[in-house]
Amino acid sequence: MDMSCVDEAQLAAICAGNKVPEGAEPIALAYAGHQFGNFVPTLGDGRALLMGEMIDVHGRRRDLQWKGSGRTPFSRGGDGRSALGPVLREYLVSEAMYALGLPTSRALSATLTGEQVLREEPLPGGVLIRVAASHVRIGTFEYFAVRSDLESLRQLTAYVIHRHDPELAEEACPALKLLTMVGKRQAALVAGWMSIGFIHGVMNTDNMSISGETIDFGPCAFMDEYDPATVYSYIDRRGRYAYGNQPAVLQWNLARLAEALLPLIHDQPEEAVAMASEVLGQVPGWYREAWQGRLRGKLGLVGAEPDDHELAEALLGLMHAEQADFTNTFRALSGVAAGVAVLPPAFDSWRRDWQVRLARDQREGLPDRLRAANPAFIPRNHQVDKALEAAVREGNLAPFRRLHEVLQRPFEDQPEAAHYADPPRAEERIDHTFCGT
Ligand code: AMP
Ligand code: MG
């Protein structure tokens, strides 16, 4: 529909989910999923509604989904609503993710419903409109596979290929090729997350998108000091989705997708398993290549040498030992390269090795290249929390707006915003995040 002729009251009603836009036929998607390793055969949009699709200015088809708009057939015991906090959190972090250059769903609007939702306490309710290439997940395939509904599985596969990978339609074994494409996309995505210290927090198979975009911003957070064991999600008691485990979970989840696709890969189960395993065996290589590429970029290297990865790992090891801030240490490299900053003395020997390596690489434009690969600003947990608290407790959106503004230009030095780059002081630390259900 043409939104330009919609007045403000109507727009508010549409964004809050009180009025269905003209011509839309909202649906709730069914899916299954492995949650923390346990299979759940029926999940689905319990707190979200797919309002429809739109073709964007680039000619790409986008899903428009209302999150928190009310109950659906998949809500089970839940109210289908969302509190304002999680809505604003997803808005901030997904938009930051976009500005950081990674594939992600985006936020179109966040709306106060004016109603209270009852959680541990009454909280203001909110609705988020999010926009994604699609909302088909690994769990969507699992939904039909577990029901042995081959016809629907076939239809879903054809639909997804038509929508995301039309060039695969003519391939001899489209399902196997789809597994390959999804594997490559998700491997690149997780390497991207790792390169900015992002911890998704709930990498369940129902939260991993076939399009390779980041979806479902629940308890996600960015790491401050480098430690692969970092976990924020309150419910992730055993650290299944810790920062350093994400590449292994990527592989585990893709194995679930492969299992779901087996009947479409070959009529003979043993043949199908052999073919799928061959693809799964390539995932670690795709991930390694993407991750090493990211690390080379973060060190400012244009060329590739066999020892580059060791050099990068040595820096990560030092950061771990020194409890150094991940984002700020990498960001400092551009200052070091420009001769206007220094690293702490513990990094001296590493810096010399790096400079020896740089001498064999392209020096021109090095500080700029480093700045473009290493953000100054990430949505630090304590800053996000402060902005959300002000909005939810005091109805004050100013801190949220300011943080959002800073995060839209994460690679630029913004001297007036320098404190947004500071790691939390001891009393500011937020160690746990919540799903926000
Ligand atoms: P999540 O971990 O946020 O991806 O949610 C897992 C499942 O719980 C999904 O199927 C959601 O639709 C459902 N869910 C989460 N919150 C609510 C809610 N407030 N009301 C109904 N269903 C919900
Ligand atoms: Mg989800």
Q: Which of 319, 348, 373 is the last residue in one of the domains?
A: 373
Tell me, in angstroms, the distance from the centre of ligand 1 to residue 286's CA: 32
Ligand 1 atom closest to the CA of 81, numbered from 1: 19
- Kindly state whether residue 327 falls inside one of the protein's structural domains: yes
Query: What's the pLDDT at 4?
Result: 80
Neighbours of 399 (CB within 10 A): 17
Ligand with smallest separation from the Cα of 44: 1
Tell me, in angstroms, the distance from the centre of ligand 1 to residue 103's CA: 23
Count structural domains, the chain.
Answer: 2
Give one DSSP letter per residue of 279-323, joined into a string: HHTTHHHHHHHHHHHHHHHHTT--S--TTHHHHHHHHHHHHHHHT
pLDDT by residue (tens digit) across 115-141?
A: 999 999 999 999 999 999 999 999 999
- Kindly state whether residue 168 falls inside one of the protein's structural domains: no
pTM above 0.75, yes or no: yes
- Kindly state whether residue 115 falls inside one of the protein's structural domains: yes
- What would the two tokens of residue 141 be? 């395939």
Ligand 1 atom closest to the CA of 117, numbered from 1: 19
- Kindly state whether residue 231 falls inside one of the protein's structural domains: no
172 burial class (0-12, 13-18, 19+ CB within 10 angstroms)?
exposed
Tell me, in angstroms, the distance from the centre of ligand 1 to residue 302's CA: 44
- Kindly state whether residue 243 falls inside one of the protein's structural domains: no
Q: Which of 317, 347, 373 is the last residue in one of the domains?
A: 373
Ligand with smallest separation from the Cα of 74: 1
- Kindly state whether residue 95 falls inside one of the protein's structural domains: yes
- Kindly state whether residue 28 falls inside one of the protein's structural domains: yes
pLDDT by residue (tens digit) across 244-271?
A: 999 999 999 999 999 999 999 999 999 9
Determine if ligand 1 sits within 6 Å of the CB of residue 35.
Answer: no
Q: Write out the catalytic residue numbers.
A: 206
- What would the two tokens of residue 128 be? 């988020």
Ligand 1 atom closest to the CA of 207, numbered from 1: 4
pLDDT by residue (tens digit) across 16-66?
A: 999 999 889 999 999 999 999 999 999 999 999 999 999 999 999 999 999
- CA angle, residues 29, 33, 38, in degrees to nearest 5: 155
* Domain ranges, residue 31: 8-132
Tell me, in angstroms, the distance from the centre of ligand 1 to residue 171's CA: 37
- Kindly state whether residue 60 falls inside one of the protein's structural domains: yes
Which is it for the CA torsion 177, 181, 182, 183, positive or negative?
positive
Centroid of chain to Cα 281: 24
Q: Which of 346, 373, 400 is the last residue in one of the domains?
A: 373
Determine if ligand 1 sits within 6 Å of the CB of residue 75.
Answer: yes
Query: What's the pLDDT at 1?
Result: 62
Ligand with smallest separation from the Cα of 40: 1
Query: What's the pLDDT at 3?
Result: 74
Give dist(CA 260, CA 300) in Å, integer: 41
